[in-house]
Every structure is written in C-alpha cells, then in structure tokens.
Amino acid sequence: MNLRRKNRLWVVCAVLAGLALTTALVLYALRANIDLFYTPGEILYGKRETQQLPAVGQRLRVGGMVMPGSVRRDPDSLKVNFSLYDARGR
C-alpha cells in the first residue's frame, strides 16, 4: 500500500472514531431526556425519581396496552376513545 493511501485510511478511521465518540457523548449527556413516550402510570404519578408530572397542555406520546373492551368508535366521525394500562396495571 502506498503512503498516500495509507494516510487516507488513517484519516477516514480517525473521522469515524471521532463521530462515534461524539455520538456516544451526546447520547450519554441526553440519556435522561430521551423519553419517547410516557406510560399511563408516569402520567398519573410522575416520571421515575423526579416524580415530575407533565405540564397542562403539553403534547405527549403515551405508550401502553389498550384495555380489552374499552374501544368506542363514534359512528359519525373518526373519533375513537379507549382506555390504557401499563405493565403495572395502572
């Protein structure tokens, strides 16, 4: 392998290592803020150690299981109502 190719390989490896390190550090710094959704229990009782409740009017993504028999569809529109529960039964 000639010297120019070898140097180019080292530069590419260094850039990839730098990107990997940067990504790891950003994910580590944001680990507490990377919540993709709230569970029904977290909406009622707050998030983990902080017990922080969502603000009134805050847009949320809620994850959970649909309670069997709770789905109600409005025949005149696309509106659907249902109840959720999480793994702890809340």
Task: Write the pLDDT tens digit of every residue in 61-84.
Answer: 888 899 999 999 999 999 999 999
Residue linked to tokens 């120019």 = 4
Is pTM beyond 0.75? Reply is no
How deeply is 13 buried, as exposed, middle or buried, from its count of CB atoms within 10 A (0-12, 13-18, 19+)? Answer: exposed
Give every CB contact of residue 64 below 8 A, 6+ residues apart in sequence: 39, 40, 84, 85, 86
- The per-residue pLDDT of the chain, averaged, comes to 87
pLDDT band, very low/low/confident/very high, at 10 (cuts 50, 70, 90): very high
| 25 secondary structure, DSSP code | H
Q: What is the distance between the alpha carbons of residues 79 and 8, in angstroms, rounded to a whole number? A: 58
pLDDT score, position 38: 84
Residue with tokens 């902080």, as numbered in its chain: 50
Ranges 10-19, 25-34, 39-48, most confident:
10-19
